[in-house]
Amino acid sequence: MIRTFVEKDLQYVIEAHIRIYRDEYNYDHSFAEFIAHAVQEFERSGNYAREMGAYSERGTGVMQ
């Protein structure tokens, strides 16, 4: 199922970015801090109607 963003996806977005950029590009913890801050800022002041993401789900969680 493809669905739109819900607030509970924020932690997944952080974790997925950290994992992908660490594994594929050798980014260090400074990127983790950067992405965590960016996602937290989106949570605080983002326009959920204009800044959307699409998520693919299977079973009980977002597909990785």
- What tens digit of pLDDT does each residue of 5-24 get? 788 888 988 999 999 999 99
pTM for the model stands at: 0.71
pLDDT tens digits along 33-46:
999 999 998 888 87
Tell me how far CA of residue 53 lies from CA of 3, 30, 49, 57, in angstroms: 9, 24, 10, 13
Sheet holding 61-62, edge to edge: 2-4, 54-58, 61-62
Rounded Cα–Cα distance for residues 9 and 4 (Å): 10
**Domain extent listing, the chain:** 2-62
